[in-house]
Amino acid sequence: QFKPTDRFSDFALFVAYFPQLQAGPIERGRQLIPQLERPRNITIDQTTRGLYLIVLGFFKKVAIADGVSPVVDQIFGSSGRVSWIDVVVATALFAVQIYCDFSGYTDIARGLSKMLGINLIVNFNQPYFATNPQDFWRRWHISLSTWLRDYLYVPLGGNHGGVAFVCRNLMITMLLGGLWHGAAWNFVLWGFYQGAALCIYRVWWEYAGKRGAASDAEAGPAGRRIFRQILAQAVFLVVVCYGWLLFRAHSFTQIIDYTTLLVTDFGNLDFGARGPRLSAVVGMALLFAVELVQFWKADPCFYRQLPIPVRGFLIAAMIAITMMGMSNEPAQFIYFQF
């Protein structure tokens, strides 16, 4: 589908392009090679946008991801008894950690690239605002999910066929996506869980979702639609977080134990772990505010429309909180191990 490049240096640069070499975004040749073949124009506008992404990426990684990492490691690495609230907090914080760790890396890679006159794919589009599994995989690790779609799901038959055939394709794709992360039971279960969620949503959409979407589009108070969206986002976030428990657990036994604990020890608020670092607490509040405004405005570059003093305060706050997080124990990027 893509005409081969006739310059070995361009091909070699595509293969060894350093900002995204370790953990993505997974760039296709047809998207990146044309940018390497033509002259790059480096502008002030592109440089400032790149610098903002780099600041945002380090803020996510150093201040937040590394700030919650000790709590997650303590609870998931515990050999003693943990409580319901321990598991809930550790799972929720791991959801924050893996998002800030991986999207932070992507932001840095995209920022460096913009400063070199190259645009990498947007790899994360506010995944925790998703309302269903299909929406989530259109927002999370977009370069991998589209790769799985194009090279596994579509060749298996994709959407062409009955509901059972489509569900089979979804399950195979997600099981292989889980195994891609490693040959361990937790990754297999995570892939199965994601596949099951996609299949359940597909069946629901086929028999009820289409009619519901049509009726919602016809009429209804705006407040009611907003409430239903927020409720759907909150419920689905719980579904996503349990998936992260499967992903983070270090053994099949721990998955069983922690899942049982969530049911049998429900409501136990005896929190025995230490709290996240101050940089993470302050950073999570600021990041939530930034992402909420971005989602509301549907514009990833909304900060460019802010008054200069407000924009300056936002960037200065990110830098200050990142410097606060420099005392956190550094942790390797999670996706470097895959």
User: pLDDT tens digits, residue range 233-269?
Assistant: 999 999 999 999 999 998 899 999 999 999 998 988 8
For position 309, what pLDDT does the model report?
A: 94
| 9-18, 283-292, 328-337 — most confident range | 283-292
**Cis? peptide before 25, omega within 30° of 0:** yes
Instruction: Kindly state the average pLDDT of the residues 186-202.
Output: 95
Residue 182 region by backbone torsions, left for phi larger than 0, else alpha for psi between -120 and 50, else beta: left
Cα–chain center distance at 126: 7
Write out the catalytic residue numbers: 181
pLDDT tier, 70 (very low <50, low <70, confident <90, very high otherwise):
very high
Instruction: Kindly state the average pLDDT of the residues 56-64.
Output: 96
For position 79, what pLDDT does the model report?
A: 79
Residue 132 has pLDDT above 60, yes or no: yes
Name the percent of the chain lying above pLDDT 70.
Answer: 96
pLDDT, averaged across the chain: 91
Residue 293 has pLDDT above 60, yes or no: yes
- Residue in 1, 15, 103 with CA at minimum distance from that of residue 61: 103
What is the C-alpha to C-alpha distance for residues 238 and 241, in angstroms, rounded to an integer? Answer: 5
User: Are the beta carbons of 20 and 334 closer than 8 angstroms?
Assistant: no
What is the C-alpha to C-alpha distance for residues 153 and 326, in angstroms, rounded to an integer? Answer: 42
Q: Which alpha helices (DSSP H) does the chain contain, by range? A: 8-15, 29-37, 44-58, 66-76, 84-115, 133-137, 142-148, 154-156, 163-181, 185-204, 210-218, 222-248, 252-264, 278-297, 308-324
Residue 214 has pLDDT above 60, yes or no: no
For position 151, what pLDDT does the model report?
A: 94
Give the distance between the most distant pair of CA atoms in the chain.
64
Q: How many CB atoms lie within 10 A of CB 227?
A: 11
Query: Residue 265 carries which side chain, given as an amino acid letter?
Result: D
Which of these ranges, 12-16, 79-83, 90-94, 219-223, has the smallest mean pLDDT? 219-223
Residue 205 has pLDDT above 60, yes or no: yes
Residue 318 has pLDDT above 80, yes or no: yes
**Tokens of residue 172, six digits:** 């195979």
Helix axes 66-76, 84-115, angle to 10 degrees: 140
Q: Tell me the pLDDT tens digit for each residue of 85-125.
A: 999 999 999 999 999 999 999 999 999 999 999 999 999 99
Residue 172 has pLDDT above 70, yes or no: yes
For position 130, what pLDDT does the model report?
A: 96
pLDDT tier, 211 (very low <50, low <70, confident <90, very high otherwise):
low
What is the C-alpha to C-alpha distance for residues 254 and 79, in angstroms, rounded to an integer? Answer: 10
Helix axes 222-248, 84-115, angle to 10 degrees: 100
User: Are the beta carbons of 176 and 145 closer than 8 angstroms?
Assistant: no
Instruction: Kindly state the average pLDDT of the residues 140-145.
Output: 94
Residue 183 has pLDDT above 70, yes or no: yes
For position 210, what pLDDT does the model report?
A: 67
Which of these ranges, 46-60, 118-132, 219-233, 241-255, has the smallest mean pLDDT? 219-233
User: Are the beta carbons of 98 and 246 closer than 8 angstroms?
Assistant: no
Residue the block writes with tokens 């502008």: 43
For position 336, what pLDDT does the model report?
A: 80
For position 217, what pLDDT does the model report?
A: 56
